[in-house]
Every structure is written in structure tokens, then in C-alpha cells.
Amino acid sequence: MSEESRNEGTEEPQHNPEHLTLLRKGWIEWNKWREENPHIVPNLRYLHLHKGTLGHDDLYLCNLEKANLQGADFRGAKLWGAHLEAAHLFEARLEGVDLAGAHLEGATLVDGQLQKARLCGANLRKANLTNVDLTGADLRGVEGMRLDATIVRDARFWPRDRDPWSVLRRGYTGPKLLFNLLFLVAFLLPYAVKTAGWVMVNRTQDELSLGVKRLESATDQLEAEEHAAAKPIRSVLTAIKERLPMEGNDGWRESRVWRLVLGVDKGVPYWLTAVLLIAYNILRAFLTWCVGPMRDEEERSGHTPRLWRDPFARLRAIRGWRAAVRWWDSWFEAYGWLYRLHRVAAGLLLVAIASFLWHAANWLILPVWIPAT
């Protein structure tokens, strides 16, 4: 068989043995070599570092902690359970790499290519995923993931993944958006009815007081004419005035409608619960208003919103009102601070549930009269 025919059937080149030898020396030697040879792109394609397939002496190969693999070609590699804590993987090409159960805590994956990578069960706590391409990747069960302007088009997630962006988009958009609106209406309706009722009572009182004043004016005219009906009318008006809700009359005092609606006069536990419930619903409405456009943009572009890890760090760099406006607008392009508000809302939810159960218990024990038969 000729050399040409043999080359036609050969597979794509595998990893470079010299690069593998450098990896055997540990991350210190590896990083030193990377600093001295920045123009060389490490070739670790299809490198198999699974613990179960290597000899006992080679197990340390799975530990690439703090390794500098910037721009490395890792495509198709199998790194099941590998230790890549704090590894520098900036612009690394990891298409199709198998990192199931890998340890990537604190790793830098900025601008990395991880299309169709398998990351299920991996630990990504404090890992930087800014602008990482995770198109078609398997992200089920990933721990500590913080998506940051990350491409997640066609990526696979668990239905109840707990990463911050998944929590926000699941909790404040989609089917739960309608639920939030219905819950808000159901919560505000009793307060609206109660407020409207007290306003109507106030107007009725004003109309009644105005009518009494008109009758008094007419009675004064009758008394001036010494009419016989003036005295009985005056006595009736005096009795009515004594029972009107007016300042100085026994049993009546002035109060604001908001105090009656919140139940301020019923004690601190009652009105504090009402205030917390109002704050909870306002917070949920605000989160729904902010998260909705972010999810819409993600579905159109495939990019998640920015995390914005340290929004206050840019305050010192603001020069002029235009920069201040851009800084303010950038708040509503990031979701990190919204997740903190969500955690506050989650705490207030417990108050809402406890309040509902308390009121429900009071309703259930309320005595009513029913027919004996």
C-alpha cells in the first residue's frame, strides 16, 4: 500500500505527546512553558484523562488545578471528574469535550468555545463564564453556575436548575407571569374594596353633615318667624348632631383611610404583616417587569443577560452625566442584583404564607348561626 493511500484513511491528529509530557510535570511547569511560548497553541485533542482509564501512576494527570490552557485545543477530550480548579481557560477550544463531574471551581472560561460540551454534574462555583459559547451543551445538574452574557442556544438544562438566571426566568416569566398577576390582583382586591368602602363612608358623612347644616339654617329662619314647628325640629337636629361622627362627640375620632386599610389601630403584628405583604407584591411586580425583557432578549439572541459581578466598581470611573446615565441603564441589563432582590422576595413569601394561614384559621373558627334542622 502506498504512503498516499495510507494517509487518505488516517484519522485527524491526536494530542501532541510533547504537550502531554509537559502536563505530566504539573501545572507550574506547564504555566512556565505557556508564558515562554505564547505563540504555540497546545494540542490536547481527544486526550483521555478519565481516572478509570489511566494507570495508577498517571492519576495526577486529572489534576490540572491552576493550569494555564489559554487558547488550547481540547476538542473531543474526555475529562470526566478532572480537577481544573482556578484553571485559566481563556479562549480555549473545548467543543464536544466531556467534563461531566469535573471540578471547575474558580476557573476562567472567558470567550471559551464549549459547543456541545458535556458538563452535567460539573462544579462551576465562582467560574467566570463571560461570553462562553455553550451552544448545544449538556448543563443538567451543574453546580454553582453563574451565566454571564453566555451563549446557551439549544443547551440542555434540568427543569428546576438552581442557577440564578434559571431561577429568575422560571419564577418571573412564562406561566408564572400570569400566576404573579393573578396573585397580585387577588391580594390588592380586598385592600381596594376596603379603601373604596371607607371613602364612601367618608363621603356619606360629609353629605349628612351638609344636610344637617342646611336644616339648621332653615330652622333658624323658622325661629325668627316664631313658627310653632321650629322648637321640635331644633330638638331633633340637636339629637342628630350628637350622634354624628364629628370631633368632640363621644365615641368618634378622626383617622386617615390608610390607617384603617392597614389596620394600624389593631396592633403592630397586624399592620406590620400588611406592610410586608404589600412590599412582597411590589417586589414581585418589579422583578417581573425587569426579568421579562431580559428573557425576551435571550430567546431572540441566544445570549443570557450579563451577571455584572461588581456594579459599584465602575462608580469611580464615571465622568459626566452621560456616563452616569449609561451606568444607570446597565443596571437593567444585568441580573445579578435582581437575584438578590429575589432572595428577599423569597423570604417575604414565607411571611405571606404564614399570614394567609393565620387569616384562614380565624375564618374557620368564626361562629355562625345555622338552621337547627
> Where are the chain's structural domains?
16-162, 178-364
Domain 16-162 falls in which CATH fold?
Answer: Pectate Lyase C-like (2.160.20)
Per-residue pLDDT, 117 = 92
**pLDDT in the model for residue 309:** 59
- Please tell me the predicted confidence (pLDDT) of residue 115: 93
The pLDDT assigned to 1 comes to 37
| Of the candidates 181, 133, 171, 154, the residue with the CA atom closest to the CA atom of residue 295 | 171
pLDDT at 6: 38
pLDDT at 84: 82
Q: With helix as H, strand as E and coil as C, how does 2-55 read? A: CHHHHHHCCCCCCCCHHHHHHHHCCHHHHHHHHHHCCCCCCECCCCECCHHHCC
pTM of the full structure: 0.71
Residue 253 sits at the vertex; the CA angle it makes with 249 and 257, to the nearest 5 degrees, is 145
The residues, ordered by sequence, that sit 6+ positions from 79 with a Cβ below 8 Å of its Cβ are: 47, 49, 50, 62, 97, 98, 99, 102
- From residue 140, alpha-carbon distances to 85, 98, 134, 261, 354 in Å are 20, 13, 12, 47, 34
Q: Which helix (H) or strand (E) holds 147?
A: strand 147-148
- Name the grid cell of 82: 478532572
Between CA 93 and CA 69 the distance in angstroms is 10
CB atoms within 10 A of CB 272: 14
Closest CA to 343 of 182, 126, 162: 162
pLDDT-flagged residues of the chain (< 50): 1-10, 12, 51-61
CA 174 and chain centroid, separation: 14
Alpha carbons 164 and 162: distance in angstroms, whole number: 6
